[in-house]
Amino acid sequence: PTTDEDKRAHEEILHIWEVIDSTLLKCYLKINDALVGPLLRLKDNCCHLVECERVLQNAEKYDELVQLYQNKENHRKALDLLLRHGQKSTGSLRGHEPTIRYLQHLGPKRLELIFEYSKWILRAKPEDGLRIFTDDIPEVESLPRDKVLAHLETVAKSLVIQYLEHIIVYCEDTNPVFHNRLITLYREKIESLLLEHSEDATESSEADHTPAGSEPGELGRYRQRLLTFLDQSQHYQAAKLIVHFPIGKLFEERALLLGRMNRHEQALAIYTHVLKDTKQAEEYCRKNYNRTSEHSKDVYLCLLRMYLQPPQASSLGVSSDTIPQPNVTAALEVLMEHYEHIDTAKALELLPAGIPIIEIHQFLCQVLSKQTVRRRNQQMLKSLLLSELLEVQQQRIAVQSHHSVITQETSCGVCKKRINQSAFARYPDGTVEHYYCYQKKNPSS
């Protein structure tokens, strides 16, 4: 409607529709109340809100009343009704499920309403309440995750870990803030469980150290989840997190963070002298070794150094009574098994001066054998490259031996005009054409 008269006519039509739909609803209630729901679910129904609200309340048709409110976008009234009936033990709207379904379809535009009416469910039935923010529904997936996280932190902190796991694992969210927060919550939970488990559990102790993740009960499960996440996630910020994993506790977790920061010597010091786990130390090297990376090409050499030149006990977070000792046997095993990944000259510099030559005889033989094979391969490659170079030079000489003489009489094979000073194309049989004519004839070339 553009004019006042058009507006009045439009309002009159809407009023007529309201009367018709409202009357139809009343008739359905009298004749066949099963038709009331389908009528109210029509997006363009014109039922009068106040009149139909009164009629439905009198008839105790609360499901249909919720539908009326929803269709008219009077969501607060609908949610208030659901809240009142949700506390009851009878009726079709009893319990929290109707409210959950309603909230799941409101979408991000009504976020404050979702937060307000989700509180009673999150407090009464936390696991079910979390579905308001995690079910596979378009409106749910479009909710701003940072705001949902803040809401859960305030109302139901016990659900925050589950929510973060959902958006990271199932929704594949790569936001570093979420990854950092999940690691922090894992750590806080583990530290709390450690205090419950034993008064001395958070103190450094080598004698009674239990491998992380193998502890009984909830503590073991959470440590395993944290270790797996630290190993697999590529989106957390280790430099920001390391300050919350101080020296002296959570050694395995700290080692993974140090490794992500390319502080390999510190990480390997934990594996070799705190955990005393040579297999885990070699597995760490296997995962982090990268011949082309400046930070990771000497990771096996770092392991060798940790065995031969152990750091001070204070830097490891262990008791000062326990002095880390060199482990020459483990160092020699590393040399034997991973000689291909170790700089031979640097390795020999690290070895003790008094070590018997027989101890490193096998290592030197393997290195010399490797060098011999490498030299032979390089000589062979050099010969092949030289042969290829000679072949290419012969081809170049053959190509350069062909020439074309362009005179004032030489004409284009296409347009028959003289070539003169124009650019031209030459075919193997000696025929020449203007380059323009050649391109016109061969547009794809």
Q: What is the pLDDT of residues 320-348, one digit of tens each?
A: 556 778 888 888 888 888 878 888 788 88
Q: What is the pTM of this model?
A: 0.74
Q: What is the mean pLDDT of residues 123-135?
A: 95
> Which pLDDT band holds residue 318 (cuts at 50, 70, 90)?
low
Question: Which residue did the predictor score with more confidence, 375 or 172?
Answer: 172
pLDDT value of position 204: 45
pLDDT value of position 202: 42
pLDDT value of position 78: 93
Gap between the Cα atoms of 119 and 159, Å rounded: 13
Q: What is the mean pLDDT of residues 61-79?
A: 90
pLDDT value of position 203: 47
Q: Is the pLDDT of residue 404 over 70?
A: yes
Q: Could you tell me how far CA 258 lies from the centroid of its own chain?
A: 20
Q: Is the pLDDT of residue 208 over 90?
A: no
Q: What is the mean pLDDT of residues 393-404?
A: 82
pLDDT value of position 36: 86
Q: What is the mean pLDDT of residues 152-167?
A: 96
> Which pLDDT band holds residue 352 (cuts at 50, 70, 90)?
confident
Task: Name the average pLDDT for the chain.
Answer: 87
Cβ(317)–Cβ(274) below 8 Å: yes
Q: Is the pLDDT of residue 140 over 80?
A: yes
Percent with pLDDT over 70 in the chain: 95
